[in-house]
Amino acid sequence: MNASSNAMIDSITSTPSTEGRDAATPVAEPAKSQMAVYSYNAAIAALSSLALAACGGGGGSPSAAAPSAPGGLSATAGVAQVTLAWMASMGATSYTISRATTSAGPFTAVGTATSTSFTDRSVTNGTEYYYILSASNAAGASANSAVAAATPMAAGLSRVQAARVLAQAAFGGAATDIQALQNQPNGIQSWLTQQFAIPVNPPGQLSNVAWLQANNLISVMFDTAGVQSSLWRKLISSPDVLRQRVMLALTDLFVVNTGAIQLTYRGAAVAYYLDQLEANAFGNFKDLLLAVSHTPAMGQYLTFLDSVKANPVTGTSPDENYAREIMQLFSIGVVQLNLDGTAKINPNDPNVALATYVQTDVLNMAKVFTGWKLDATANAFLGASAAADMVNNTSGFDTTEKLVLGQTIAAGLSGEQTLEAAIAILMQHSNIAPFISRQFIQRLVTSNPTPGYVSRVAAVFQSTQGDMKSIITAILTDSEAASGQLLTDPQAGKLREPVVRFIQWARTFQLNFAPSDATAWAKIGDLSNPSTKLGESPLQSPNVFFFFQPGYAPPQTALHDNGITAPEFGITNESSVAGYMNFIKNLIANGIGGVPGNYGAVQPLVNQGGNSAALLAELNVLIAAGQISGTSLNMMQSALDTIDTSTAAGANNRLYAALTLIMCTPEYLVQK
């Protein structure tokens, strides 16, 4: 963050361990109601724990004993190569990497390394490889690590493969987007590098605050429509599509509701909040937490803005809302986790999960969030203080010592120093990597990631200390994201968010609003009505837990009975299904706000060869990444071929009907 960061972290001093207390302590009362959400509905099982890097040590030479087995091994596939990364083993001087073509071996050594990474270039594209490694020093070699697998890819992706990548990493794509990905010299790796290099607010795209200013909306009191329009503009038209996809995921995680923010210039506040998410989407998760914690939008929504230290005379105490939610929702969750996201077993009662924090942690964290106020010196325009970082007022800040999660934040630090120290404690917690990694996997790839998938991404989170580019790359290049075998796995994939379906249509068929046209973007509006629209809309969540929750499994279903989480089913019911079908049918035929989609690229296929087969085949790739079965396509064709295309109106009707059928079929709605 700044030059004082190291000093802040140094101010965190260890206190006597509370591990024994925590191990025997069931989930604190305030968190019990969320247990079902964050237990991930998985059976609590004792798994082999991964050896983590030691944070310190007593006397003795590091080489007095053989090192422990390396932990957190991850394998990332590239073109004709596999890159391995792992966590350091204390005392290790070198590592031996071994490889096999089956998970059971036999394993053969393929190289050594003195750092915590290795690239294997002696591989064949399309072959799945399994890796283990051991650590060594003068005293001997460790046991082997857990196995990691990856399948190196050929440089040229097929159209279907490219469309599938874009469905996960973007919002799908038009034919030109698919072709551009196919043309990348190193497949998805080159595409990711290209996307990461696009600057925040690329040419032609103003920041949210600047856009509101340009359209004279920044100082409109109590306005919510302006910032909502600005976000739609970004999600649909900005060329940095990966950042926008991650941005949408971040608004799902760090929830604010524009209409619930009780600030006079709440549009300005939320615009600034969105700009901070965008600016840090490819940065470090620590900086992201710090940025969110400084925004007036979050400060007011979760009520720590103007919270002050306890007053024994009046009996007041600091607001606990954000103190609880930054732990429960934004960083570590309520249940202690293994690196693979499964709940740790309670040695005293396996039926009661172990809590990550207790009420005393909340009380002490609440002291961190005292004294925060709007910056009165920000006065460039009406509402400018809502569009700037909050500042800490020393008169309202609690300067006493704070004990949070077993670590002490020293007394006498400033508000900024204390906040940085508190965030550093969260970043050091073993839960943050699996808790956050799992949710990003859910947003982009699959609702029910395997423990192995979570473990591989969480290991990258830990080894890079929360580098977002590395985490996103690990998610999108993992074997469980790219494997063709998972296309037929009933436990793989995810129900596409309704908002993602809408944005996919708008991007694929070039909803043609000019980026600067505030009046046009306002026509999209709030899409959260489940009976007439999508049942979900950015910045319109009913509460801080978002529209659906990460551990949700629909009751009385096979998903629930098999412990499979499916968050998006939390907003799926008879009303929302009918509402979506009616909304999408009207959207396809009429556009939105009087602006239709641009179907010029697929119009020539409407009656190619005298039938609708070519049209359906192309829409299957563009919209569903080739995942609609031949049986379903044949049924659609039988219906579509009855539509007379001898007139322009008839040709349009066949096109609209085909696209509606594609976007309403279960094989599209479930993204694989």
Tens-place pLDDT, residues 264-298: 999 999 999 999 999 999 999 999 999 999 999 99
Measure the CA–CA gap between 293 and 273, rounded to whole angstroms. Answer: 10
Instruction: Name the nearest CA neighbour of 74 among 457, 418, 377, 412.
Output: 457
Residue 465 lies in a domain: no
Query: What pLDDT, on a 0 to 100 scale, did the predictor assign at position 126?
Result: 78
Answer whether 157's CB lies under 8 Å from 177's CB. no
- 23 versus 379: which is more confidently predicted? 379
**Mean confidence (pLDDT) of the chain:** 89
Q: Residue 190, class by beta-carbon neighbours within 10 Å (0-12 exposed, 13-18 middle, 19+ buried)? A: middle
β-pairing verdict for 94-100 and 108-113: antiparallel
Instruction: Name the nearest CA neighbour of 656 among 618, 599, 582.
Output: 599
Is the CA virtual torsion 360, 364, 370, 372 positive or negative?
A: negative
Query: What pLDDT, on a 0 to 100 scale, did the predictor assign at position 422?
Result: 98
**577: CB partners within 8 A, 6+ apart:** none
Residue 576 lies in a domain: yes
Query: What pLDDT, on a 0 to 100 scale, did the predictor assign at position 42?
Result: 31
- 34 versus 176: which is more confidently predicted? 176
538 and 593 co-located in one domain:
yes
Residue type, 515: P
- 661 versus 54: which is more confidently predicted? 661
Residue 488 lies in a domain: no
- Say whether pLDDT at 13 is over 50: no
Domain ranges, residue 628 = 495-549+571-671
Query: What pLDDT, on a 0 to 100 scale, did the predictor assign at position 20?
Result: 33
Q: How far is CA 481 from CA 40, 212, 439, 474, in A?
A: 20, 38, 14, 10
Query: What pLDDT, on a 0 to 100 scale, did the predictor assign at position 64?
Result: 74
Q: Residue length, the chain?
A: 672
β-pairing verdict for 372-373 and 108-113: unpaired
What are φ and ψ of residue 95, in 5° steps? Answer: -130, 140
Structure tokens at 232: 């739609």
143 and 160 co-located in one domain:
no
The model's pLDDT over 39-72, given as tens digits with 9 standing for 90+, comes to: 323 322 222 222 223 233 333 344 479 999 998 8
CATH no. for residue 123? Answer: 2.60.40.10
519 and 625 co-located in one domain:
yes
Instruction: Name the nearest CA neighbour of 384 among 247, 529, 484, 272.
Output: 272
Answer whether 421's CB lies under 8 Å from 371's CB. no
**383: CB partners within 8 A, 6+ apart:** 218, 219, 264, 265, 267, 268, 269
Is the CA virtual torsion 27, 32, 37, 40 positive or negative?
A: positive
Residue 218 lies in a domain: no
Instruction: Name the nearest CA neighbour of 195 among 160, 239, 157.
Output: 239
Query: What pLDDT, on a 0 to 100 scale, did the predictor assign at position 33?
Result: 33
Residue 34 binned pLDDT confidence (cut-offs 50, 70, 90) = very low
Query: What pLDDT, on a 0 to 100 scale, did the predictor assign at position 615?
Result: 98
Residue 112 lies in a domain: yes
Residue 154 binned pLDDT confidence (cut-offs 50, 70, 90) = low
Sheet (strand 407-409) strand order: 12-14, 407-409, 402-404
Query: What pLDDT, on a 0 to 100 scale, did the predictor assign at position 287?
Result: 98
Structure tokens at 180: 């551009």
Instruction: Name the nearest CA neighbour of 623 among 592, 565, 669.
Output: 669
92 and 188 co-located in one domain:
no
583 and 543 co-located in one domain:
yes
Residue 666 binned pLDDT confidence (cut-offs 50, 70, 90) = very high
Measure the CA–CA gap between 647 and 366, rounded to whole angstroms. Answer: 68
The model's pLDDT over 218-256, given as tens digits with 9 standing for 90+, comes to: 999 999 999 999 999 999 999 999 999 999 999 999 999
634 and 532 co-located in one domain:
yes
102 and 179 co-located in one domain:
no
Answer whether 175's CB lies under 8 Å from 600's CB. no
Q: What is the DSSP letter of 531?
A: T
- Say whether pLDDT at 5 is over 60: no
- Say whether pLDDT at 490 is over 50: yes
Query: What pLDDT, on a 0 to 100 scale, did the predictor assign at position 110?
Result: 96
Query: What pLDDT, on a 0 to 100 scale, did the predictor assign at position 155?
Result: 60
- Say whether pLDDT at 148 is over 50: yes
Residue 324 lies in a domain: no
639 and 585 co-located in one domain:
yes
Measure the CA–CA gap between 20 and 407, rounded to whole angstroms. Answer: 15
- Say whether pLDDT at 22 is over 60: no
Measure the CA–CA gap between 189 and 253, rounded to whole angstroms. Answer: 26
**14, β-bridge pairs:** 407
Give the number of other Cβ atoms within 10 Å of residue 317's Cβ: 16
Query: What pLDDT, on a 0 to 100 scale, did the predictor assign at position 12?
Result: 37
Measure the CA–CA gap between 277 and 289, rounded to whole angstroms. Answer: 9
Answer whether 436's CB lies under 8 Å from 44's CB. no
Domain count, the chain: 3
Residue 28 binned pLDDT confidence (cut-offs 50, 70, 90) = very low
Instruction: Name the nearest CA neighbour of 548 among 252, 289, 330, 264.
Output: 252
Measure the CA–CA gap between 195 and 238, rounded to whole angstroms. Answer: 12
Measure the CA–CA gap between 129 and 132, rounded to whole angstroms. Answer: 10
Residue type, 646: S
590 and 526 co-located in one domain:
yes
Domain edge (last residue) among 150, 177, 212: 150
Residue 168 binned pLDDT confidence (cut-offs 50, 70, 90) = very high
Cα(first)–Cα(last) distance of the chain, in Å? 38
Residue 662 lies in a domain: yes
Lowest mean per-residue pLDDT among 116-120, 327-331, 374-378 = 116-120
Give the number of other Cβ atoms within 10 Å of residue 189's Cβ: 21
599 and 665 co-located in one domain:
yes
Measure the CA–CA gap between 190 and 185, rounded to whole angstroms. Answer: 7
141 and 160 co-located in one domain:
no
The model's pLDDT over 431-477, given as tens digits with 9 standing for 90+, comes to: 999 999 999 999 999 999 999 999 999 999 999 999 999 999 999 99
Q: Give the pLDDT mean for 14-32.
A: 34
> pLDDT exceeding 90 applies to what percent of the chain?
81
Residue 630 lies in a domain: yes
- Say whether pLDDT at 4 is over 80: no
Q: Which pTM does this prediction carry? A: 0.81
109 and 182 co-located in one domain:
no
Residue 672, classed as helix, strand or coil, is coil
Q: Give the pLDDT mean for 361-384.
A: 97
Answer whether 310's CB lies under 8 Å from 317's CB. yes
